[in-house]
Structure 1
Amino acid sequence: MPDADSTTQPSRFDVDGVGLAYEEAGAGAATPLVFIHGWTANRHRWDHQFEHFAKSRRVLRLDLRGHGESDTPTERYSIDGLAADVRRLLDDRGIERFIPIGHSMGGMIAQTLTLAQPERVERLVLVGSVSQMVYSRSRGLVMAASKSVPYNTFVAINIQRAFKRGYPKELIRKYIADSQATPRHVVMSCYDAMREFDVLDRVREIQVPVLIVHGRHDIQFPPAQAERIAANCANATVKILDTGHECPIENPGAVTEAIETFLAAP
């Protein structure tokens, strides 16, 4: 969801006839960072972090298949498929070793990339994400009810809940409108893909350092789910922020600082 002043034109990459929009910037010897957005969002979720880290290292971000300025094929979407798109893009750009940074569904994709090719991942950053989709009773009731209402209402209900209470309503309305622009078949298929996602019994295989950033007021994925990931990881650090689910835009500076501190650690 772009900032009002964002005018960057993305590059294009073709994956078997499906065009993906992406941006690449920065340079340096440090391992490249790859920013992966979440459900109904786009690459601009990472505006603050992308611009900050591009000053010191190579960074890449993309609009996932079906989102933002990428193509929106009518098909069944899956976390594995979205991860394969990211991997193809990295291969095309000559990025062998990288640090995936994923928000929400993007964190699921980041975990999938890490588990599939652990030798390519130096560190892993998960922001407002989970290793297993588990709903509280209230969350389940909201999802069941929202799926029976018109599409735009379904999206609005879920995006509204993603922000900590008190976040400016006019900004939330902009994010809702942008999410509603994501085609219905993409939103619903990705929603089903997230429901099926479960690698909790495999995260112990991840041996690289892991940073888990989570909002204290996240009711989409309550903080206890972040602690479940950490409990199963060999080397995980948890950073809890005073935000809802949308950490990268609710408090972008805090997310950037947490990532920078993590990258600087031995």
Structure 2
Amino acid sequence: MPFLTLHNKLRCCYTLQGTGDPIVFIHPTGMGTVTFHYQQELAEHFSILTYDMRGNGFSQADNERISISLLARDLKQLLDELGISSAVICGYSNGGAIAQEFVLHYPEMAKGLILVGGFSEVCTEWLQAEFLAGIYLTGFGGLPLLARGISGAHAPERNYRVQLENSILRADPYILYQMYRTTFHYHSTDRLDQISCPLLLIYGEKDTYIHSYEYLFRKYIPFAKTVYISDAKHQIPTKFPYELNSIIKQFTKTLT
């Protein structure tokens, strides 16, 4: 995969395929570009950009303290280097925090916002428990266990599970620890009314502990659209790629 050196001198690993309107996919903590393996088929219709966030996958990290605004700024620099002036921003799971922050800080660069299993804050018990588990495992030598758990939950077949597990194991555990902590405390709810671009929320029908977040979004963004995918839990990009890609394709074409 190619690399770009960002303004902060960090080497960032990315993939850019296809032509047409750009869609940027932002992965959850640790998972890297391989998260969106099945979304590459969208390159038949759009320019698809995926990348490893700093300290994840093959991308470098430095000693700068991780924050959601820092990660959003990294994405802005990547788009600038690639000459992409605006794009549809798609964040999966806690990658949605970076997506929201990017749209809030750089609204002129966002044609639309897609959140897959997204939330504007961590305020429910089950989600809090997941983040606390991530904080503990990355902080106390449990990255191999975390990698097995995440890859096992996401991968529909063995070869992909190995790719995903290896991607997580390449990450810097301390960076992941910081990412889990800063996302655990992230809160955009009181700024949601500042999001002006079209918003699409995508949830799994069986991802019930995330469903309540839809109401927070719709409270502050009445124009938001919501789609539930039947029989799906949280792992939509890998377990229900056909349905997800079809929804993204339809939504993005309405923005052109």
Does TM, scored on the shorter chain, surpass 0.5?
Answer: yes
Counterpart among 108, 116, 134 of residue 97 in structure 2: 108
Counterpart code for 2:12:
L
1:79 — aligned with what?
68
2:17 — aligned with what?
25
- Which has the larger displacement, 228-237 or 40-49? 228-237
1:11 — aligned with what?
3
CA distance in 2, matches of 1:54, 1:168: 23
1:151 — aligned with what?
142
**Cα offsets for 1:79-127 (capped at 9, x unmatched):** 1111100000111111112111111222111111111121221111111
2:38 — aligned with what?
48
Structure 1's consecutive aligned runs of 4 or more residues displaced over 4 angstroms after TM superposition are 160-164, 167-174
Contact 1:210 1:236 in 2 (8 A): yes
Partner of 1:35, secondary structure, is strand
2:227 — aligned with what?
239
Counterpart code for 1:17:
K
Counterpart among 95, 99, 108 of residue 119 in structure 1: 108
Once the two structures are TM-superposed, the CA of residue 254 in structure 1 deviates from its matched residue by 0.9
Once the two structures are TM-superposed, the CA of residue 216 in structure 1 deviates from its matched residue by 2.7
Once the two structures are TM-superposed, the CA of residue 193 in structure 1 deviates from its matched residue by 1.0
- Which has the larger displacement, 254-263 or 228-237? 228-237
Once the two structures are TM-superposed, the CA of residue 48 in structure 1 deviates from its matched residue by 2.1
- Which has the larger displacement, 174-183 or 100-109? 174-183
1:254 aligns with 2:246: no
Contact 1:101 1:126 in 2 (8 A): yes
**Cα offsets for 1:42-94 (capped at 9, x unmatched):** 11211222x22222232222111111111133442111111100000111111
Counterpart code for 1:231:
K
Partner of 1:229, secondary structure, is helix
Counterpart code for 1:151:
G
CA distance in 2, matches of 1:72, 1:134: 29
CA distance in 1, matches of 2:82, 2:166: 32
Counterpart code for 1:112:
E
CA distance in 2, matches of 1:91, 1:233: 28
Contact 2:154 2:238 in 1 (8 A): no
1:130 aligns with 2:119: yes
TM-score by length of structure 2 reads 0.85
Aligned pairs for 1:118-197 (under 5 A) are: 118-136=107-125, 139-140=128-129, 143=132, 147=136, 150-152=141-143, 155=146, 159=150, 175-176=164-165, 178-197=167-186
Once the two structures are TM-superposed, the CA of residue 40 in structure 1 deviates from its matched residue by 0.9
CA distance in 2, matches of 1:10, 1:145: 29
**Cα offsets for 1:151-195 (capped at 9, x unmatched):** 13662586279659xx66886576445424322101110001101
1:39 aligns with 2:29: yes
> Aligned Cα RMSD in Å?
2.9
- Which has the larger displacement, 143-152 or 188-197? 143-152
Partner of 1:71, secondary structure, is coil
CA distance in 2, matches of 1:93, 1:234: 33
Contiguous gaps of at least 5 residues in structure 2: none
Contact 1:13 1:21 in 2 (8 A): no
CA distance in 2, matches of 1:157, 1:60: 26
Counterpart code for 2:9:
G
Contact 2:115 2:202 in 1 (8 A): yes
Would you tell me which structure has more helix in proportion to its own residues? Answer: 2
1:222 — aligned with what?
210
CA distance in 2, matches of 1:92, 1:23: 13
